[in-house]
């Protein structure tokens, strides 16, 4: 039996006249004057290899079974192709049908909508677009691991099942082995978990950050890369209930160094895509977003703007005075909406922005606060004075996406951290171990979180986050 050659390798091969075996799925079939032409693809590349054969050399039943979607094994002679756009093709001498595909195959028609393709998510990876997206997704994962490995970080595995809520928002999926039809409750009607698997209420993690901080205080620099879960009823093109997060945490890192890390990391990933995904990016640039490659190259050329939140609010309010319309308000203290972030990036600066020094009230309890002023405000990045307390946040805003990274310097002082916990009236019962790190050799440290799917959105030019993950999990949708 002849060894199979991947299509990507067959297309590069110049051993014309030699026999070759390829296997894959039929993209299309056509015929002319007793000769058939089959476009075959095995997922190793966006490009198909053309199979050419004489009808007279194959039985009629085999030819009938070569339909769009069918799986074939083809043996033939590799020859130079006379057709434009392809260097080689295969003159078939033997064809075996490995898997028939009948006329109910849902991917036969071209131009299917994104909404329709989500209903056949078990098959959509076979399309050209989703094949390209998934190959790029793989390459971005490789870029992430390579970057951190080359920079001396350690891959740190944080738990998916947890008793603590990192963000304090409460939007978590519960994990239980209890019989939901016969829950044991106390006199106040609260569920008793002593007969549950873990003996207490547990959930799927929303972030590995807090455990990641523990790793940073032992190993110096770590990163996590794994699935996270948010039980938010958000039906937007930017939200998933299950998504992947990259979260580096670094000891002895200050705010300026954190921004340097965020910018360098993003640029490394974008360059990796341009260097390693050329064919797929060119396809997406042609079919999905004709400015995609230009935009990716632009990220590498530009130095990211570093903009205090207070200055950003001033720019937005000035834009409103000049006639710019926003759906949501943007006064000091408001959490900026995507429209505000994109205005700053796409219209005002026309380059990526790292926004710093957000109001403390709209950010998480663990973030380090900036020095206070006598008037009750604070002094942040590059001396920017804000009217209220701010913390050392460093969120990266990107064109087409809005926020792609959320980061901050973490509060290392036990007393200051506890003061913020009390101010917010937080229950820290399940976070005693996190507070412990501030008592036993605490150190300055910082980190960020990057939603992997948002990175893929930017790199592919796609518009909906449900189309950059193989099987999206969203409200009322857990199929496949």
Sole residue written with tokens 């300026």 = 256
| 41, 7 contact by CB (below 8 A) | yes
Residue 197: its pLDDT value, please? 96
Domains of the chain: 7-99 (2.40.50.140), 126-171+206-467 (3.30.930.10)
Distance CA 166, CA 160 (A): 12
Contacts of 440 (CB under 8 A, 6+ apart): none
Distance CA 83, CA 390 (A): 63
Nearest to 161 by CA among 177, 140, 138, 148: 177
Distance CA 350, CA 353 (A): 9
Distance CA 105, CA 465 (A): 25
Residue 111: its pLDDT value, please? 79
Helices 255-276 and 292-301 cross at an angle (nearest 10°) of 140
- Tens-digit pLDDT profile for residues 413-463: 999 999 999 999 998 888 899 999 999 999 999 999 999 999 999 999 999
- φ, ψ dihedrals at 180, nearest 5°: -70, -15
Strand partners, 227: 244
Contacts of 309 (CB under 8 A, 6+ apart): 336, 355, 356, 357, 358, 359, 380, 386, 390, 393
Residue 1: its pLDDT value, please? 77
- Tens-digit pLDDT profile for residues 54-88: 999 999 999 999 999 999 999 999 999 988 788 89
Find the radius of gyration of the CA atoms of the chain.
Answer: 27
Q: In the chain, what are the helix, strand and coil shares in percent, each to the nearest 5? A: 35, 25, 40
Per-residue pLDDT of the chain (480 residues; tens, 9 = 90+): 799 999 999 999 999 999 999 999 999 999 999 999 999 999 999 999 999 999 999 999 999 999 999 999 999 999 999 887 888 999 999 999 999 999 999 998 777 899 999 999 999 999 999 999 999 999 999 999 999 999 999 999 999 999 987 766 568 999 999 999 989 999 999 999 999 999 999 999 999 999 999 999 999 999 999 999 999 988 888 899 999 999 999 999 999 999 999 999 999 999 999 999 999 999 999 999 999 999 999 999 999 999 999 999 999 999 999 999 999 999 999 999 999 999 999 999 999 999 999 999 999 999 999 999 999 999 999 999 999 999 999 999 998 888 999 999 999 999 999 999 999 999 888 889 999 999 999 999 999 999 999 999 999 999 999 999 999 999 999 999
Distance CA 326, CA 346 (A): 15
Instruction: Give the distance from CA 334 to its chain's centroid.
Output: 26
Contacts of 8 (CB under 8 A, 6+ apart): 44, 45, 47
């Amino acid at each position: 039996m002849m060894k199979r050659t991947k299509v990507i390798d067959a297309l590069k091969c110049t051993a014309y006249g030699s026999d070759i075996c390829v296997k894959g799925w039929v993209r299309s079939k056509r015929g002319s004057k007793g000769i058939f032409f089959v476009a075959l693809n095995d997922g190793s590349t966006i490009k198909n290899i053309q199979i050419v054969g004489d009808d007279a050399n194959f039985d009629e039943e085999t030819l009938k079974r070569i339909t769009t979607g069918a799986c074939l094994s083809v043996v033939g002679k590799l020859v130079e192709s006379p057709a434009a756009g392809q260097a080689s093709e295969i003159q078939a001498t033997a064809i075996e049908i490995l898997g028939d595909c009948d006329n109910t195959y849902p991917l036969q028609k071209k131009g299917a909508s994104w909404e329709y393709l989500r209903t056949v998510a078990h098959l959509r990876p076979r399309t050209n677009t989703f094949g390209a997206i998934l190959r790029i997704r793989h390459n971005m994962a490789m870029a992430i691991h390579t970057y951190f490995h080359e920079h001396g970080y350690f891959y740190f595995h944080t738990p998916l099942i947890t008793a603590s809520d990192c963000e304090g928002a409460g939007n978590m999926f519960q994990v239980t082995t209890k019989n939901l039809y016969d829950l044991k409750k106390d006199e106040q009607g609260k569920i008793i978990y002593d007969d549950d698997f873990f003996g207490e209420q547990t959930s799927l993690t929303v972030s590995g950050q807090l455990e990641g901080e523990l790793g940073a205080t032992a190993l110096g620099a770590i990163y996590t890369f794994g699935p996270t879960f948010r039980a938010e009823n958000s039906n937007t093109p930017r939200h998933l209930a299950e998504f992947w997060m990259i979260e580096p945490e670094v000891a002895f890192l200050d705010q300026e160094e954190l921004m340097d890390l965020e910018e360098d990391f993003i640029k490394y990933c974008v360059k990796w895509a341009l260097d390693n995904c050329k064919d797929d990016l060119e396809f997406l640039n042609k079919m999905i977003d004709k400015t995609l490659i230009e935009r990716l190259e632009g990220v590498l050329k530009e130095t990211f703007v570093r903009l205090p939140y207070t200055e950003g609010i001033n720019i937005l309010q000035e834009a409103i005075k000049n006639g710019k319309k926003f759906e949501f308000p943007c006064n000091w203290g408001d959490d900026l909406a995507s429209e505000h972030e994109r205005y700053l990036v796409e219209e005002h600066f026309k380059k990526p922005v790292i926004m710093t020094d957000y109001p403390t009230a709209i950010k998480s309890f663990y973030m380090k606060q900036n020095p206070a002023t006598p008037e009750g405000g604070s002094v942040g990045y590059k001396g920017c004075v804000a009217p209220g307390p701010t913390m050392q946040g460093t969120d990266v805003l990107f064109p087409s996406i809005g926020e792609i990274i959320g980061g901050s310097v973490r509060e290392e002082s036990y007393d200051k951290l506890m003061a913020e916990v009390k101010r917010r009236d937080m229950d820290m019962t399940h976070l005693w171990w996190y507070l412990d790190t501030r008592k036993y050799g605490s150190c300055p440290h910082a980190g960020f979180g990057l939603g992997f799917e948002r990175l893929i959105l930017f790199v592919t030019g796609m518009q909906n986050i449900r189309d950059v993950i193989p099987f999206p999990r969203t409200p009322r949708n857990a199929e496949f």
